[in-house]
Amino acid sequence: MDLQASLLRWYRSNRRPLPWRLAPSVYRTVVSEFMLQQTQVKTVLPYFERWQSRFPDFESLASAGEADVLKHWEGLGYYSRARNLHRLAKAIVASPAVPRTARDWRELPGVGPYTAAAIASIAFGEPEACVDGNVVRILSRLTADTTRHRDGATAAKYFTPLASLLLSPASAGDHNQAMMELGATICHRRNPLCRCCPLVQWCAAAKSGSPVDFPRLQPTGIEHHSVTRAWVVKDGALLLHRSPPSARRLANLYELPSAIHLELDEQSFDSRDLLAKKKRGITRYLITESIYRVAPPGRLCLGDALVWISFDDLQSITLSGPHRRWITELLAKEASDQRNRILPSK
């Protein structure tokens, strides 16, 4: 049996029963590929189901308002994906036919070479190889290629000819999904399960005994950043910052205001008012966010970007990143502190 046949046989008996595989359609493939960009399958699953119930096809998505679309993406991050998916649905509804080739898909908003190849091969069987971090890892290990790559994008470009050469043209969709599945479930970055791998007999890195040495990517340093945020409550409402519609990343999304939004000097924050310290990673940035209780600003005019949102209305707005989780935690803490103050101690 050759490498392609071994890979396909393994995939067809081991693939995870993911919703976009169980009931495939062009639309479901497109939505899943957008959601899976930079995001793991287990994170995407509940969002995918919720999205399908609200926007089951290109037409329902195209006719929805942007606020509705963003609300259903809340918590998945990288909101430009939701905006691009919305624009893509409008473009498809307005065009006479759904595109079939990777080249045509690349013309649509938010569709890069990887997504175009994935959609064209999975939905239409077009022989286009997908090359992402998973595929780079597998191919660099199969060949024990010692070339040092500047970053993932450069490595993907380097391995594209080999990926195309290995593609099974008659089963392009399954072949691409098999490579993704192998990278996600067997050829792990730190602990590859070579004994269970259908490609082990062709793998030079497994034979060398140190597959984790591949791929060779230049190390990227982690950059540390810190942000000071304010928890400002008045008359049952929370002060939030809303990014303007023209903002590149967070357009129309709400978040707890930072010291900069409030024009406050970070040195003026009192450590006794620190409510929470949160860490989060975005690509190569590690961000520490400190949230302080701050008295409501005395000035009457806060500007368009700072808005009071009543606690009752918090569910109806779209909060960026982890802000909903933080706000929910802090509101629960406030309620518990209040209860403790009211109830007499035993």
Catalytic residue set: 33
Please state the closest distance from residue 299 (CB atom) to ligand SF4, in A: 60
Would you say 108 or 179 has its CB closer to ligand SF4?
179
Residue 206 makes contact with ligand SF4 by CB under 6 A: yes
Please state the closest distance from residue 175 (CB atom) to ligand SF4, in A: 15
Residue 184 makes contact with ligand SF4 by CB under 6 A: no
Residue 317: how many CA atoms within 13 Å on its side-chain side? 26
Residue 138 makes contact with ligand SF4 by CB under 6 A: yes
Residue 141 makes contact with ligand SF4 by CB under 6 A: yes
Q: What is the separation, in whole angstroms, between the first and last Cα of the chain?
A: 75
For the sheet with 274-282, list strands across it.
223-231, 285-293, 274-282
Q: Which residue has the tokens 């479930």?
A: 185
Spatial contact of 70 and 253, defined as CB atoms under 8 Å apart: yes
Spatial contact of 223 and 284, defined as CB atoms under 8 Å apart: yes
Per-residue CA distances from 112 to 20, 107, 300 (Å) = 20, 9, 46
Would you say 18 or 184 has its CB closer to ligand SF4?
184
The window from 7-15, 193-201, 251-259, 275-283 that contacts ligand SF4 (CB under 6 A) reads 193-201
Rounded to whole angstroms, the Cα distance separating 229 from 234 reads 16
Residue 194 makes contact with ligand SF4 by CB under 6 A: yes
Helix axes 133-143, 172-185, angle to 10 degrees: 80
Would you say 20 or 214 has its CB closer to ligand SF4?
214
Residue among 35, 172, 178, 197 that touches ligand SF4 (CB under 6 A): 197
CA angle 295, 301, 303 (to 5 degrees): 100
CA angle 206, 210, 213 (to 5 degrees): 115
Residue 178 makes contact with ligand SF4 by CB under 6 A: no
The window from 29-37, 79-87, 184-192, 245-253 that contacts ligand SF4 (CB under 6 A) reads 184-192
Residue among 180, 203, 256, 319 that touches ligand SF4 (CB under 6 A): 203
Binding residues for ligand SF4, per CB under 6 A? 138, 141-142, 186-187, 192-194, 197, 199-200, 203, 205-206, 211
